[in-house]
Amino acid sequence: MGNLFDLTGKTAVALGGNSALGGAIAKGLADQGAKVAIVGRNMEKAEKMTKEIEANGGTAKSFQGDVSSQESIENLAKEIEAWSGGWDIVLNAPGKNSSTPFLELEMDEWDDIMDVNLKGLVFTTQVFAKRMIEQKRKGSIINISSVSSTTPLSKVFTYSASKAGVNSVTQFLAREFAPHGIRVNAIIPGFFPAEQNKKILSEDRIASIMEHTPMNRFGDPDELQGAAVYLASDKASGFVTGSLLRVDGGFGSMTI
């Protein structure tokens, strides 16, 4: 059992690895021996995360990439391939949110959020999975969804719709890639306060979240590491694909 979660010799591409949740997961993968490509639009944040991983004894390199641009994704894949030769794990963690009410929503904002959360995930996976298949690399694709994907939350209409799409894409691609030995799963995080959602966390909303979270607290980003390492490891989850794994403090279990 000691080597069940060992990722030594694996390379992980952490898209959104410069963010709070993506960064925590990237650190967890590195802690288990994976070589990690930290990808983000903000190179300063990506480099900071890379240094943190290296300071802890891990191996990482920063890359700039925009998942909403197909040209950027293609160039990114070439750069990472030149660095690592290929990859075994792909983490899709970029995310964008907005609290605009439905009747005030404009198409530009809808497109902006969908381009990052759903369209970007689709085309990024297309590029990275294609190279895995060409190299006959088995591996794991891990998508980051949200509790709003199954129970739509107020004030985040577009975000909820995009994450519901992530769940659908995850299960479709699990079936599509299974013959190639590529597993596709998603993590459904509960409430992990980060920059993108702090603006909608009023005192009343926090109280409501706590009322619907049996564990009565927010999650710590590091608490996503175990789920991600489990899904990344072929030894630990080799027969797991198309799963939506909740890490939500019980939020999905609460009714009245």
Q: Quick one: which H or E segment has residue 15?
A: strand 11-15
In one-letter notation, the amino acid at residue 248 is D
Neighbours of 200 (CB within 10 A): 15
What are the DSSP E strand ranges found in 18-101? 35-40, 59-64, 89-92
Neighbours of 91 (CB within 10 A): 28
Q: Reply yes or no on whether 230 is catalytic.
A: no
Q: Where are the alpha helices (DSSP H) in 85-242?
A: 107-114, 120-134, 157-177, 195-198, 203-211, 225-232, 234-237
For residues 146 and 188, the answer to whether their CB atoms sit within 8 Å is yes
Neighbours of 183 (CB within 10 A): 24
Instruction: Give me 27's structure tokens.
Output: 């650190």
199 three-class SS: coil
66 three-class SS: coil
Q: Considering only CA atoms, which of 127, 116, 195, 188 is closest in space to residue 153? A: 188
Alpha-carbon distance of 24 to 222, in angstroms, equals: 5
Q: Quick one: which H or E segment has residue 137?
A: none
Q: Which of 5, 87, 128, 159 is catalytic?
A: 159
Positions marked active-site: 159
